[in-house]
């Protein structure tokens, strides 16, 4: 890990943005388009959106990110998965893209923050006790706005997901790290209450919303249990 002093953030991110976090999947969204799913899900109560596609190149991911950002406007923050360059290109086009979510094998968050600047919302995945402790130590540096903790359950959506934590494992992980955190991985409606009692600030969902026949209704059913 490189050293360095505190880095200030000037974005308007709040932990409430994490309450119901939609992570998109183009294949699971079919027959709907990703933009249709996002539109419906925001109407149903989603509070943040991440554009994620592992099957397209940078140019198509940029187009998709811009499409989603235009649909959403400024209603909820839109982030892009992995690609700092796509975030920068979308911003350069004047699109309302709020930030980037990176994993442990993507660019280090110190570099992400240096490249994207203080206004970007930066999320980081964490899955092991070492990663949670490292994340907690980074908190005063202001590099990261929130953590994505998972996998809670095994999920076919991400075949290379980390070892499932279960709700109890999530609770233990959560206790090691005070940065706002969202639970991800096989999160269904019945998991919401235990996960929030375990300290989740919100839930990140892919298939539960993207693959639903009615993504608006699916989002609403998650949101009803979350409340607020
Ligand atoms: C909110 C949230 N949490 C975790 C992840 C997983 O990110 P990563 O570990 O980089 O894996 P990929 O999504 O890139 O396969 C996420 N995307 N969002
Ligand atoms: C994108 C992602 N990241 C994970 C992690 O554990 O880091 S699990 C996952 C996919 C979650 O999809 P679903 O809601 O369909 O189970
Ligand atoms: Mg990643």
Judge whether residue 53 has pLDDT over 60.
yes
Q: Which domains does the chain have, with CATH numbers?
A: 15-226 (3.20.20.70)
Confidence of residue 5 (pLDDT cuts 50, 70, 90): low
Q: What are the helix (H) ranges across the chain?
A: 26-29, 34-44, 58-72, 84-92, 109-116, 129-138, 166-175, 192-197, 207-210, 215-226
pLDDT of residue 6: 54
- Nearest to residue 65, comparing CAs of 46, 42, 91, 40? 91
- Cα separation, 219 vs 49, whole angstroms: 12
**Cβ atoms of residues 20 and 226 within 8 Å:** yes
Does 186 belong to an annotated binding site? yes
Helix (H, G, I), strand (E, B) or coil at 102: strand
Category of 188 on φ-ψ map: left (φ > 0), alpha (ψ -120 to 50) or beta: beta
pLDDT digits (tens, 9 = 90+) for 176-207: 988 999 999 999 999 999 999 999 999 999 99
Structure-token pair, residue 206: 């892919």
8 as an active site residue: the answer is no
pLDDT digits (tens, 9 = 90+) for 14-49: 999 999 999 999 999 999 999 999 999 999 999 999
Structure-token pair, residue 227: 């409340």
pLDDT digits (tens, 9 = 90+) for 82-98: 999 999 999 999 999 99
175 as an active site residue: the answer is no
- Cα separation, 14 vs 211, whole angstroms: 28
Does 175 belong to an annotated binding site? no
Structure-token pair, residue 70: 């235009």
Directed axis angle between helix 84-92 and helix 109-116, to 10°?
10
- Cα separation, 58 vs 60, whole angstroms: 6
Specify the pTM: 0.96
Residue 146: count other Cβ atoms within 10 Å of its Cβ. Answer: 27
- The single-letter DSSP state of residue 117 is -
pLDDT digits (tens, 9 = 90+) for 137-180: 887 778 999 999 999 999 999 999 999 999 999 999 999 988 99
Query: Is any atom of ligand 2 closer than 6 Å to the C-beta of 151?
Result: yes
CA 182 to chain centre: 8
What is the percent of the chain with per-residue pLDDT over 70, rounded to a whole number?
96
The ligand that comes nearest to the alpha carbon of residue 104 is 1
- Cα separation, 68 vs 36, whole angstroms: 9
Judge whether residue 115 has pLDDT over 90.
yes
- Cα separation, 19 vs 191, whole angstroms: 13
The ligand that comes nearest to the alpha carbon of residue 205 is 2
Query: Is any atom of ligand 2 closer than 6 Å to the C-beta of 49?
Result: no
pLDDT of residue 3: 42
Query: Is any atom of ligand 1 closer than 6 Å to the C-beta of 50?
Result: yes
Helix (H, G, I), strand (E, B) or coil at 216: helix
The average confidence (pLDDT) of the chain is: 94
Confidence of residue 1 (pLDDT cuts 50, 70, 90): very low
* Ligand 1 atom nearest to CA at 103: 10
Query: Is any atom of ligand 1 closer than 6 Å to the C-beta of 123?
Result: yes
Does 81 belong to an annotated binding site? yes
Rounded to an integer, the average pLDDT of 131-136 is 90
Distance from Cα 2 to the centre of ligand 1, integer Å: 22
For residues 52 and 140, the model is more confident at 52
């Amino acid at each position: 890990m490189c050293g360095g002093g505190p880095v200030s953030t000037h974005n308007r991110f709040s932990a409430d943005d994490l309450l119901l976090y939609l992570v998109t999947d183009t294949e699971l969204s079919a027959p709907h388009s990703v933009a249709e799913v996002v539109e419906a899900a925001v109407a149903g109560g989603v509070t943040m959106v991440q554009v994620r596609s592992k099957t397209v190149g940078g140019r198509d991911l940029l187009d998709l990110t811009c499409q989603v950002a235009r649909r959403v406007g400024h209603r909820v923050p839109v982030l892009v998965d992995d690609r700092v360059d796509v975030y920068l290109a979308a911003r350069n086009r004047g699109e309302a893209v709020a930030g980037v979510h990176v994993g442990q094998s993507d660019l280090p968050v110190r570099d992400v923050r240096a490249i994207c600047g203080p206004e970007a919302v930066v999320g980081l995945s964490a899955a092991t006790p070492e990663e949670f402790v490292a994340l907690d130590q980074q908190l005063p540096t202001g590099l990261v706005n929130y953590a994505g903790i998972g996998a809670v359950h095994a999920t076919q959506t991400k075949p290379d997901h980390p070892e499932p934590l279960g709700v109890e494992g999530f609770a233990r992980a959560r206790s090691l790290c005070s940065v706002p955190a969202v639970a991800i991985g096989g999160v269904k409606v019945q998991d919401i209450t235990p996960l929030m009692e375990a300290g989740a600030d919100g839930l990140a969902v892919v298939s539960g919303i993207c693959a639903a026949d009615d993504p608006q209704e699916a989002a609403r059913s998650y949101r009803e249990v979350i409340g607020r």
